[in-house]
A and B are shown apart, each in its own frame.
Chain A
Amino acid sequence: MSVLLKADGLAVTARLAGGDLRLLDDVDLEIRRGQIVGVVGESGSGKTTLARCVVGLLDRNVRVEHGSVTLAGDVVVAPGVDRTDRVRGSAVGMVFQDASRSLNPLMRVRTQLAEVLRRHVRDITRAEVRRRSLEVLEQMRIADPSRVLDSYPHQLSGGLRQRVAIALAVVTRPALVIADECTTALDVTTQTKVVGLFRTLVDELGIGLLFVTHDLMLASDLCDRITVMSGGRVVEAGDAASVLDRPQQDYTRRLLAAIPSWT
């Protein structure tokens, strides 16, 4: 399997009034097709910065200092280079934490899906838009896709909104999906369903998934490989099983010890 996403020695700095702040320091990461890689860390560990860097959604005062991000062999992010607009929404899809608020409340689901499709698929017909919208909602295991299509976000349940948010990220058939804490706001039952959905999507579509979370247990359930981050650095990386069973670093051990039910 070929390497899909590769971050190589990535260093990112924020310029603040009080001086520069290193947000990412020498970060390496690799994702292959059909693989789920978890990035685990506490708030402030840099995991969200890493995710946003890949799609070029960093704040104006944040700069890439060293290293690069390549997608399927092409450099998309490097110092002074930002080609993320070519991949954002097309080759890379992103799902955010708070799904209820990541949908525009004034637009029907149908309109929001069509908007993305029209942007990324050249000369798409109305019929094709409708067909692919229905198709992607079915992929999300949504029972009555045509009702959901005609709904406004506030008319849907939290779980459905989350699925619609994922649908919006994958409707353009990206090779890589980034999920940033996208299950945190959900209750445990819905969370399990969404995580299961991700697994099927990866297996069915052969995409790569970058799963950002603070929840080491959740990551170990879902991911093939896990990267643990702290203070902007990668402190541990490896197969999910080995990271969990034989943590090499104190930090990872402490993360594990912080999980009450884990013995």
Chain B
Amino acid sequence: MKASTVRRVGSRLASLFASLLIALSLAFLLGRLSGDPTATILGPLAPPEQREALRHELGLDLPLVVQYFDYLRGILTGDLGQSLQFYQSNTSMIADRLPYTLQLVAAGMGLAVCVGVPLGVLAATREGTWWDRAASTVALLGQSVPVFWFGMMLVVLFAVKLGWLPAGQSGTPKHLILPALTMSVYPMAHIARLTRASMSEALAEPYIDSARARGLGNRRVVWRHAFANAMMPILTIVVLQTGILLSGAVAVEYVYSWPGLGQLALQAIQFRDFPLVQAIVVFGALVFVLLNLVVDVLHSIVDPRVR
């Protein structure tokens, strides 16, 4: 590895670490600024000495700085605290719900990529035609629709009226179809728009004309030459959108009563279970930073110029 590469990787890691630390600190502050959790747990009528005892048990009587470092040490060892509502370790509850959300995100994202990328390529290779306008309008529509409402209408049509698919819950592959379809709408639109922009830029590059002049077939020019060069922004958005969906599928999970992380977050908020809210925020930040690293690695695999 060259010295410049080492320096670049180093500064990238440093800035990722900085934004992670800021995010974690904000999550900590959110947890502490939310008032006295002992009042929530014991109720407002509990005698002061009982609350004092609980505060001591939870470590809330320690100085804020000590609490902060305990919190950071906990994150390092995988301990995200205890839920006030479920009396369980937050880490294990997140681990229980994660597979459901992962399943949903994987299916939704897979669908989004499989439709969004070809749609964007189609629009870019026929720039200015009726195809382009149709594909671009569909994509913009996908970014304008409240996805959970789209989900509700799918339920009305396919579950209530036609009775083909279940309206909610999870379990069988049939249960996955509607939530995954709903989940895919926004990233699909985003990917299609980005693919179109990125492809039309790549198709205007001189090496595309050159490749055509060498007699290469259209499919090879479009995919092997243009798409390969247009791929980086698309990969980036796919990975980062995955991160957003992992922590942010709240409304979709709510519509379908899908027992994932989003539902857990909603329950935590409704019961003012701040340790659990904080744990989920921390988890989301960790996932986000991890996925940013994945983007960097992918970038260096795809593009020899940044190796």
Verify B206–A89 contact, CB threshold 8 A.
no
Contacting A at CB under 8 A, from B125-168, are: none
Query: Which of B207, B214, B217 makes the CB contact (< 8 A) with A105?
Result: B207
Are B213 and A104 closer than 8 Å at their CB atoms?
A: no
Tell me, yes or no, whether A90 is within 8 Å of chain B by CB: yes
Q: Which A residues are in CB contact (< 8 Å) with B205?
A: 101
Residues of chain A in range 66-112 having any CB-CB distance to chain B below 8 Å: 85, 88-90, 93-94, 96-98, 101-106
Contacts A88-B215, A119-B215, A152-B304: A57 and B207 contacting too (C-beta < 8 A)?
no
- Kindly identify which residue among A55, A101, A152, A154 contacts B213, using a CB–CB cutoff of 8 Å: A55
B206, A115: Cβ atoms under 8 Å?
no
Q: Which A residues are in CB contact (< 8 Å) with B213?
A: 55, 57, 88-89, 93-94, 96, 169
A105 to B228, CA, bound (A): 10
Give complex CA distance A105, B216 in Å.
17
Which residues in chain A, 179-227, are within 8 Å of chain B measured between CB atoms? none
Contact A103:B207 (CB < 8 A) given known A152-B304, A154-B305: yes
Complex Cα distance, B207 from A115, in Å, reads 14
Within 35-87 of A, Cβ neighbours of B (below 8 Å) are at 55, 57, 85
Which listed residue (B206, B214, B304) contacts A106, Cβ 8 A? B304
Given contacts A104-B225, A106-B302, A119-B217, A168 and B212 within 8 Å (CB-CB): no
Tell me if A102 and B303 are in contact (CB < 8 A): no
- Sorting the interface of chain B by its residue count into under 10, 10 to 19, 20 to 34 or 35 or more gives 20 to 34
Chain B neighbourhood of A90, CB < 8 A? 215
Contacts known (A105-B229, A105-B305); A96 close to B209, Cβ less than 8 A: yes
Nearest Cβ on chain A to B8's Cβ, whole angstroms: 15
- CB-CB under 8 A from B225, the residues of chain A are 104
Q: In this assembly, does B98 line the interface, its C-beta being within 8 Å of a C-beta of chain A?
A: no
Which one of B207, B215, B228 lies within 8 Å of A102 (CB-CB)?
A: B207
List of B residues within 8 angstroms of A235 by Cβ:
none
As a 0/1 sequence over residues 194 to 230 of chain B, the CB contacts with chain A under 8 angstroms (1 = contact) are: 0000000000011101111111110010001100110
What are the residues of chain B within 8 A of A165 when measuring CB–CB? 210
CA distance A116 to B296 in the complex (A): 32
Assembled-state Cα–Cα distance A57/B229 (Å): 21
Q: From residue A69, how far is it (CB to closest CB) to chain B in Å?
A: 15
* Bound Cα distance from A38 to B211, whole angstroms: 24
Most chain A CB neighbours (cut-off 10 Å) among B209, B224, B303? B209
**Other-chain residue from A101, A154, A169 in contact with B207 (beta carbon distance below 8 A):** A101
State whether A98 and B215 are in contact (beta carbons under 8 Å apart), knowing that A106-B229, A106-B302 are contacts in the complex.
no
A93 to B216, CA, bound (A): 12
Contact flags A112-127 to B (C-beta < 8 A → 1, else 0): 0001100110000000
Q: What residues of chain A lie closer than 8 Å to B228, measured between beta carbons?
A: 104, 106
Distance between Cα atoms of A115 and B211 in the complex (Å): 10
Contacts of A154 in B (CB 8 A): 304-305
**Contacting residues, chain A, for B302 (C-beta < 8 A):** 106
Q: Which residue of B lies closest to A61 (CB)?
A: B128
Bound form: Cα–Cα A110–B53 in Å: 73
Residue of A102, A120, A165 ringed by the most chain B CB atoms within 10 A: A102
A169 to B211, CA, bound (A): 10
Within 8 A of A (CB), among B161-193: none
Most buried by B among A85, A90, A106: A106
Please tell me if the beta carbons of B212 and A120 are within 8 angstroms of each other in the complex: no
Q: Can you name the residue of chain B whose Cβ is closest to the Cβ of A113? A: B214
**A116 near B206 (CB under 8 angstroms)?**
no
Give the contacting residue for A119; candidates B206, B209, B214; CB below 8 A. B214
| Set A105, A116, A152: member contacting B215, Cβ < 8 A | A116
CA distance A120 to B209 in the complex (A): 18
Q: Which residues of A contact B206 (CB under 8 A)?
A: 96-98, 101-102
Given contacts A104-B229, A106-B229, A154-B304, whether A57 and B216 have CB atoms under 8 Å apart is no
Q: Chain B interface (Cβ within 8 Å of chain A)?
A: 205-207, 209-217, 220, 224-225, 228-229, 302-305
Which residues of A line the B interface, CB within 8 A? 55, 57, 85, 88-90, 93-94, 96-98, 101-106, 115-116, 119-120, 152, 154, 165, 168-169, 172
18 contacts between A and B (CB under 8 A): A57-B212, A57-B213, A88-B212, A88-B214, A96-B213, A98-B206, A101-B205, A102-B206, A102-B209, A103-B207, A103-B210, A104-B225, A104-B229, A106-B229, A154-B304, A154-B305, A165-B210, A172-B215
13 A-B pairs besides A94-B213, A103-B207, A115-B220 with CB distance below 8 A are A57-B213, A88-B212, A88-B213, A93-B213, A101-B207, A102-B209, A103-B210, A105-B303, A105-B305, A120-B215, A154-B305, A168-B214, A172-B215
- Give the 10 A-B residue pairs with the shortest CB-CB distance, closest first: A89-B215, A102-B210, A94-B213, A89-B214, A101-B206, A88-B215, A152-B304, A102-B206, A104-B207, A116-B214
